[in-house]
Structure 1
């Protein structure tokens, strides 16, 4: 193919204007200048084009060449993705560090997966077989946890006319040849896919399975779903990154894609240092075996920050197509929106609210719409769950990114500054958060946890709501003037907050809690409230209700009860019933 060449006429930060571009296409990837920086055409008007450059543009000069590649910004999808860390356009940072210590040199090009590494490949098709889009023709045990299935690319089908035996091959080896209606297609151990195009599926399915996180406030109060969309908004220091780290470590997704999008470098460093040491509770192997990291920190080129979101979601869709359940963590979408705002400003577009471009809502919608629980082209089921952190300046949830995100997500885990500053983590505000998945997950929870789980949840939330109203009165007149039944609500709500909602990420028993233990903990609090309420109603004073041993048992049950031994919780319930039953009978007999 003849290479098309244009030339630079102006440089404005990450935005380059060029002429002689009439033969180029929109969204085409190009090489910019003598350094051959990677860029993407975002505006094409006649002979002139505007290019978004994914590398530092300092030093570019007028009349330097723009060279076409003929392809849109695309990813190479094959073995070597897992356990790796990439920049925003799928360049492996570990390999780049070996080539150029400590920084990414300009013009290094679009190096992606290791083309020389030999993989132990199992060929799963035979001569004469008919293959359609999504069919698996080879498998590689990429990590001890994940079997990488190499599939026929979308929009391709035919008959196998040549096939290699199972053996050791690099990703560039042609292992299968397919005879289609028009030609012979060579299938290697990877496929290439443009990042801005959602990968095709057979059909979307109704969400019905929860994403179990082991975080009590999420799993019981605001459950998430596999294939769902979640926003975690919060101001500086409220624990967005901490919450996402917990979800990445403990959620029951098969694969985690973690995007550090415009956040500080030390946060990605923490991920890099923590994850290799973490042991997957399901397999007792390092968590990195099922994790992909994409680092595009605040000191890296701003245009690549915009691409990193699409890179992450494309990698997630690729593993979903194999039949895996993938959770993608975007930390944070606010920095991505700021990249859109900066590039929009450089393009001199008419700004919308707070300087963000008018197309911000549609870009957010495009991203979150790529989540879902689906039937893949090959008949398997898979899901992509999108969990996006939002960083509103000053914790102001009325700003455009938070408000527009709220329109497109079904679960909203609102982080509260007051809770965070009082060291209540995770700082999810139970009054302003919500989950739209409760009705969809209702049957699963009733079947797998308890038929009364939602009634129990409703009672606890009601007590917390009553507490918020009573605390307004207490601020004005003090707690002593409240009747004992209302003071009991305050005491019970405090137990819910401290012993159930508050969770210690650094405690071995408390960092991850199985659903069965979560339910039994909540049941113990309900048993306490109901028995204490009966006692209060027959005249037992609140001073006797707040028994030190009972309260200590409730407050410390999250630490004292092992995650596989619930007899202590059952005995705690029995102890509560006996103690308050005796008080009830003692005072009832006096009456």
Structure 2
């Protein structure tokens, strides 16, 4: 280990000299308390270190020791259900050691070293294995089977394989490598957080991450392995959207990163997630969730690390063949940490004081998402979908973080405070949001849900856009100046907004809508529009038409339970045809 001494302290930034043997991104220990830091700049023998803990009391002459190892996370059984801080220290263990006011210099293992896990081997003596191959499994929770993989860079033949209960540090397998040497494998491995885990092949994002949220799945879908941004001002529902996605998205593992969020909001997450029932299994949602909590009052440098810690853990489960959903709330706070550290390093500022490399850092993070074929002889398919909340000041998405994010992600769910104040949730603005996956995913929806899916969606979006144009005319000259066909468009667009795009997260049935139910509801709305337009052309009375009782039945279709949707759909469709036929017949008489 190389040792230096502090010459300058500037908040979380510490400069130490005598560090010529250290390397960029080495983890260091500062002072006798062993504060954790990471080298982020080298100039001669001077190293600039971002310290992940409070630096009050440090001064010139304080010793700094380099570990000559990058910031890494521990990967193995024990990750699921855990709550970590930004540098993967388990919060519950820290409370046991230091009480509720966590002091600095605490050194606790990320994964419990004493707990024994039941290891079930999946290979036999004499089997040839390589990087990524599964040598055994551990039932980590009732929901998640933890697959123990051969570490990166290791290839050989199984000499010995054990079975039974072991800690994460005990040897469970011995390999004879190609050069004749032996390698002992445990159930735990380490991985540097700033390095993306390797894979065999990245696949085309051509299947959706089904969320059960109508405005997302139908209008602005995200692909499995895709990336999305959720920008919105204070109070517009970013966290509620991410909670809904965590609970209902078609993902087997959820990694939730609270990056620089308010303490009370993070407390709600930590309390709510264990109580939320997983709709897929009936167990607690925590049985397949990992939480990383880094509140706004924690040292700012740890925010920067928390994003990388979370995505590295997510990549590990992706490599096992799982579909993983990562929620980062919010990347704006992470960018603010970058800005603060950049300012203390006296780097040339970019737009609004953010560092010039803001865009490339965001790209490095989001590009680690994807649907991939993992390393190993089996060729497992795993997916990592990344959804990042953005908190632009005052809701202004023209600021640098939002703009840099939009250049990278392919889905933009723009939250609107006006919609939130009108109690329209999710408050995703259908005119400003978009998804660049739509064309590719429409083929999947047309094939796997219904051949009219993409037609339905296109017709509904067209109506919503025409409504916005018509509303401008209405504000100038009033609704009576419009033709009956245009007034019908306004009525149907309102139905789409209020009955389809609006979804009650707290309603037992409406909180989740299957793809089939989404299609049938929108199909009913569009059938009513097309048949009504035809009836008006045949002389039907407009006022009587919009007051037909069948409209209310269509609106309440979203509260129909999944098992009854096909039957109720057929009944409403039949009633609709009958009502419109009667109305047209009366007008003809």
Q: Place the TM-score, normalised by the shorter chain, in its bin.
A: over 0.9
In structure 1, the residue matched to 2:171 is: 174
Aligned-partner Cα distance in 1 for 2:96–2:363: 38
Quick one: which of 151, 158, 161 aligns to 1:160?
Answer: 158
Contact 1:294 1:312 in 2 (8 A): yes
Check whether the contact 2:196–2:368 (CA below 8 A) recurs between aligned residues: yes
Q: C-alpha separation between the residues in 2 aligned to 1:466 and 1:181?
A: 67
Corresponding residue for residue 564 of structure 2: 565
Query: What is the TM-score when the length of structure 1 is the normalising length?
Result: 0.97
Distance 1:163 1:501 in 2: 54
Residue of structure 1 in register with 2:501 after alignment: 501
Distance 2:297 2:574 in 1: 58
Instruction: Report the equivalent of 1:453.
Output: 453
Provide the residue aligned with 1:114 in structure 2: 112
Partner of 1:206: 204
1:60 alignment counterpart: 58
Cα drift, residue 441 of structure 1: 1.6
1:278-427 correspondence runs (5 A): 278-378=276-376, 379-427=379-427
Taking the aligned partners of 1:52 and 1:85, their CA distance within structure 2 comes to 23
User: Which residue of the partner structure matches residue 476 of structure 1?
Assistant: 476
Post-superposition offset of 1:110? 5.1
Deviation at 1:404? Answer: 0.6
Greater mean deviation of Cα atoms: 101-110 or 201-210 = 101-110
CA contact (8 A) 1:38 1:110 kept: no
Is the 2:548–2:579 contact (alpha carbons within 8 Å) kept by the matching residues of 1? no
**Aligned residue pairs: how many?**
585
Q: How far apart are residue 91 of structure 1 and its match? A: 0.6
Taking the TM superposition and a 5 Å limit, the aligned residue runs for 1:84-123 are 84-109=82-107, 111-123=109-121
Structure 2: runs of 5 or more not aligned: none
Measure, in 2, the Cα distance between the counterparts of 1:59 and 1:125. Answer: 54
Structure 1 partner of 2:518: 518
Q: 1:481 Cα shift?
A: 1.6
1:398-456 residue CA offsets vs partner (Å, 9 max, x unmatched): 10001110010111111112111111100111111111112222232112110010001
Structure 2 partner of 1:45? 43
Instruction: State the distance in 1 between where 2:269 and 2:554 align.
Output: 34
Distance 1:109 1:419 in 2: 46
Query: 1:131 matched to which residue of 2?
Result: 129
Correspondence for 2:547: 547
Shift of 1:174: 1.1
Secondary structure of the structure 2 residue equivalent to 1:8: strand
TM-align CA RMSD? 1.2
How far apart are 1:571 and its partner, in Å? Answer: 1.0
- Secondary structure in 2 matching 1:245: helix
Mean alpha-carbon deviation: is it higher for 183-192 or for 313-322? 183-192
Alpha-carbon distance in structure 2 between the residues aligned to 1:569 and 1:418: 33
CA contact (8 A) 2:335 2:401 kept: yes
Deviation at 1:548, TM superposition (A): 5.0
What is the match of residue 189 of structure 2? 191
Higher mean C-alpha displacement, 140-149 vs 58-67: 58-67
Give a deviation string over 1:550-590, Cα, whole Å, max 9, x none.
2321222222x112211122211211111111112222x34
- 1:378-408 Cα offsets, whole Å, 9 max, x none, are 2100010000011100110110001110010
**1:489 to 2:489 alignment:** yes
Distance in structure 1 (CA, Å) of the matches to 2:92 and 2:536: 64
What does the per-residue CA deviation read over 1:306-334, in whole Å, with 9 as the maximum and x for residues that have no partner? 00000010000000010001010000000
> 2:261 is paired with a residue of what secondary structure?
coil
Aligned to 2:223: 225
In the TM superposition, structure 1's runs of 4+ consecutive aligned residues that sit over 6 Å from their partners are none
Rounded Cα–Cα distance in structure 2 between residues aligned with 1:174 and 1:4: 31
Deviation at 1:62, TM superposition (A): 1.4
Residues 267-319 of structure 1 deviation map (CA, whole Å, 9 limit, x = unaligned):
22222222222222222221111111000111111100000000010000000
Contact 2:229 2:409 in 1 (8 A): yes
